[in-house]
Chains A and B, each alone.
Chain A
Amino acid sequence: MPVYVDISRCIGCRSCEVACQRVHGGGSHVNVHYAGDHAAVPVFCHHCQEATCVKACYTSALYKDGERTAFVIDKCTGCGLCRLACPFGVVWTDKLAHKCDLCSPNETPTCVLTCPANALSTDYEAASRRARERAAMMAIRGGRR
């Protein structure tokens, strides 16, 4: 998943949603969900290695471009199969399909640049190190995670 979410940092402000809407002219490809008052999480395209949306697409409008699950709008017929083939519900079809493109060709997705809480990153190493450090701190403080 090329955009990594640090859920403990997410403040549920929906800035990523708005940033995505601004860049893609309308529909957002990020959906912020709330778990009561306790947590919020943006639900994103995972850019799955074995992407089921790519498997469902018969015109090759969706394809794997390295880590990214990329998309050529010209080949899309709007059939709606990819929307139904996404296990996370993050491909949409409104006449034509749309989904997260990691703001290609920009190097960093706009949601990552926008997040005021620093909850989003494209750096797997940093995200994973932070999670390990936090788990270690919790273990020191009494084994609570």
Chain B
Amino acid sequence: MIKVDSALCIGCLACSNVCPSKNIVREDTAEKRTITWKTCGEECDLCVEFCPAKALTLVPESEETTIAFELVPCRICGARYATEPMLRRIEAALPKELQKDASGLAWIWVCPVCRRDIEAERATREMVMGRSRRSP
């Protein structure tokens, strides 16, 4: 059976993806992600092996566990895009100088869609200025 340490779980998708018996179920809504570890009697430890946070252990007895994560809203568009522990983990793994972009923006707290927009805006800024000056 699977035991979950809720203090360690970061709410990623690894365990539910690798489980061959679909005993770990996740549900994403616009606001939160819910993960349920069903009571599992399989002779298998893939979820334990692949957990990035080492939050899972196998124990002889365990009950069904559910953890809900509120998803973090993007600082620009407000769309909820990730669990906070996942973002904190990435933040901790990166050197300080890589956590901000050239404009000083903490990009980790911006959703991937807005990150692409920012990159496109940065790449075209000079060109757009030049072209709008030339056009009547």
- Taken together as a complex, chains A and B put the C-alpha atoms of A96 and B17 apart, in Å, by 9
* A31→B116 contact, CB < 8 A: yes
* A93→B120 contact, CB < 8 A: no
Are A93 and B94 also in contact (CB < 8 A) when A35-B121, A80-B86 are?
no
Please name all residues of chain B whose beta carbon is closer than 8 Å to the beta carbon of A91 when the two chains form the complex: 112
* B112→A79 contact, CB < 8 A: no
12 sampled A-B residue pairs with Cβ under 8 A: A33-B116, A35-B124, A36-B128, A38-B124, A38-B132, A55-B94, A77-B14, A79-B52, A81-B86, A85-B90, A144-B130, A145-B126
B133 within 8 A of A: yes
A88 within 8 A of B: yes
Partner of B12, one of A36, A43, A80: A80
- Taken together as a complex, chains A and B put the C-alpha atoms of A56 and B82 apart, in Å, by 15
Nearest CB of chain A from residue B20's CB, rounded to whole Å: 13
Are A84 and B131 also in contact (CB < 8 A) when A7-B123, A56-B93 are?
no
Partner of A83, one of B89, B112, B123: B112
Q: How would you classify the secondary structure of chain B's contact residues: helix, strand, loop or mixed? A: helix
Are A86 and B93 also in contact (CB < 8 A) when A39-B127, A78-B14, A145-B130 are?
no
Please name all residues of chain A whose beta carbon is closer than 8 Å to the beta carbon of B93 when the two chains form the complex: 55-56, 85
- Interface extent on A, as a size class? 35 or more
* Residues of B in contact with A (beta carbons under 8 Å apart): 12-14, 17-18, 50, 52, 81-82, 86-87, 89-90, 93-94, 98, 101, 107-108, 111-117, 119-121, 123-128, 130-133, 135
Please name all residues of chain A whose beta carbon is closer than 8 Å to the beta carbon of B113 when the two chains form the complex: 89
- Taken together as a complex, chains A and B put the C-alpha atoms of A116 and B121 apart, in Å, by 23
A59 within 8 A of B: yes
Closest B residue by C-beta to A53: B90
* A87→B107 contact, CB < 8 A: yes
- Taken together as a complex, chains A and B put the C-alpha atoms of A43 and B123 apart, in Å, by 9
A41 within 8 A of B: yes
Contact with B along A1-26 (1 / 0, CB 8 A): 00001011000000000000000000
Closest A residue by C-beta to B120: A33
Please name all residues of chain B whose beta carbon is closer than 8 Å to the beta carbon of A59 when the two chains form the complex: 50
Please name all residues of chain B whose beta carbon is closer than 8 Å to the beta carbon of A43 when the two chains form the complex: 116, 119-120, 123
- Taken together as a complex, chains A and B put the C-alpha atoms of A81 and B81 apart, in Å, by 12
- Taken together as a complex, chains A and B put the C-alpha atoms of A125 and B83 apart, in Å, by 42
